[in-house]
Amino acid sequence: MSFWNFLTEEQQQWKDTCHRVMDKEITREYIRECDMNREYYYEGFDKLHEQGMMTMLIPEELGGMGADAMSYAIFNEAMGKYGVDFVATLGVSQFTAQNLVKYGTPEQQEKFLRPFIDGTGRFAVSISEPHAGSDAAAATTRAVKEGDHYSVTGLKQWCSGSSAKNCIICMLVRTDPDAPKREGLSILIIPNDTPNMELRKLKTLARRGTGTNQIFLDGAKIPVENRLGKEGQGWKIITGHLELERVAVAAGYVGCAQQAVDDALAYAHQREAFGQPIFKFQTLRHMLADMQTEVDAARLLTYRAAAMMNAGQNALREVSMAKLHASETLQKVSRQGIQIMGGHGMLPEADMERYFREGMQATIGGGTSEIQRTLIAQTMRL
């Protein structure tokens, strides 16, 4: 299929490389298998590390690729084509590592970032709590300073990828309950095998391979030297990479939504009913035309946002539009894809039911659709 190619030759080559790695090294079957068995993508993670792709956002002087937002979006579109859960496994480590790059002391970088760069460590980010999701700054998990350590007590929720081996959690905690909501928060760097901390995997509709956890903390002792940045800087640190995160997940949704259209199209050619391939029915032809139009729109919004970020422009509104439209498009086209595939679309081997489940998560995680609309409205002086 042809479409307006807005990529430079170099970006096109990068895109081809990413798709080749996805199709040859990772494969659609592997992604499906991990989802069905709720198994973390250890092998996929390691293979991407061998290709140097896990550390693509790390600056060159620290041993990474120093990639820009466009290259990262291209990568995520390719990694998301067989399901966005895999993008989440990669993304939580890649974004969270950026916190260490920006705010870590040389000692913290050596202790916590180096294993990730070497391919033995990974990261997760723990912002949400049962009563603090969209209103994340309402977090109440309390860290009380006691000499050379913090004693941390509370309950965190939805911490994706945190139960994987050798995972370091960057956790948003309240260090000053008397300060204004956003100013009393700090970030602690917490290994996932810390005593007095228990992780419980949640049986979610989607994000089954990466896994997402509740974290119970009951007086967990975290050394003061594990605080990232200053006390009270937590909100600034944790929201500092939201634009990059949202443009990346939007690109993952675009990749998956395109695959949903491609799979539905292939099925419509192959399946016959009433003596003809089902694509000949006008109602399905129009549905497929609408699906491709939505995906193209989501792709253009996503790369516009990435290009603006590359140019150093403020892209808050454009990133929110990309995240909003790409997530809703994935939800919509995967639902239509199931309709086109009929009963076959309900089976795991058809993949469409997984795209649909992941589409349902896409409009919630990383800022709900309602929050994206609120952000867009704010830029319109509404």
Ligand X SMILES: Cc1cc2nc3c(=O)[nH]c(=O)nc-3n(C[C@H](O)[C@H](O)[C@H](O)COP(=O)(O)OP(=O)(O)OC[C@H]3O[C@@H](n4cnc5c(N)ncnc54)[C@H](O)[C@@H]3O)c2cc1C
Residues that bind ligand X (CB under 6 A): 92, 125-128, 133-134, 158-160, 204, 207, 212, 361, 364-365, 368, 370-371, 374
The distance of closest approach from Cβ of residue 320 to ligand X in the complex, given in angstroms and rounded to an integer, is 13
The whole-angstrom separation of Cα 336 and Cα 125 is 33
In the complex, least distance from residue 129 CB atom to ligand X, rounded to whole angstroms:
8
Is residue 147 packed enough to be buried (19+ CB in 10 Å), middle (13-18) or exposed (0-12)? Answer: exposed
- Pick the closer one to ligand X by CB: 70 or 92: 92
Question: Among residues 92 and 188, whose Cβ is nearest to ligand X?
Answer: 92
As measured in angstroms, the least distance from the Cβ of 105 to ligand X is: 24
Q: Which is nearest to 88 in space by CA: 47, 31, 137?
A: 31
Greatest Cα pair distance in the chain: 79
Cβ closer to ligand X: 54 or 291? 54
Strand blocks (E) in 128-184? 142-146, 149-160, 167-174
Provide φ and ψ at 332, rounded to 5°.
Answer: -70, -50
Nearest-approach distance from CB 258 to ligand X, in angstroms: 22
Rounded Cα distance between 354 and 84, Å, is: 9
Judged by CB, which is closer to ligand X: 88, or 113?
Answer: 88
Residue (124 or 295) nearer to ligand X, CB: 124
With both helix axes pointing from N to C terminus, report the angle between 42-50 and 28-37 in degrees, rounded to the nearest 10.
140
| 133 vs 277, beta carbon nearer ligand X | 133
As measured in angstroms, the least distance from the Cβ of 370 to ligand X is 3
Distance in Å, CB of 135 to ligand X, minimum: 6
How buried is 44 (Cβ within 10 angstroms: 0-12 exposed, 13-18 middle, 19+ buried)? Answer: buried
Closest-CB residue for ligand X? 133
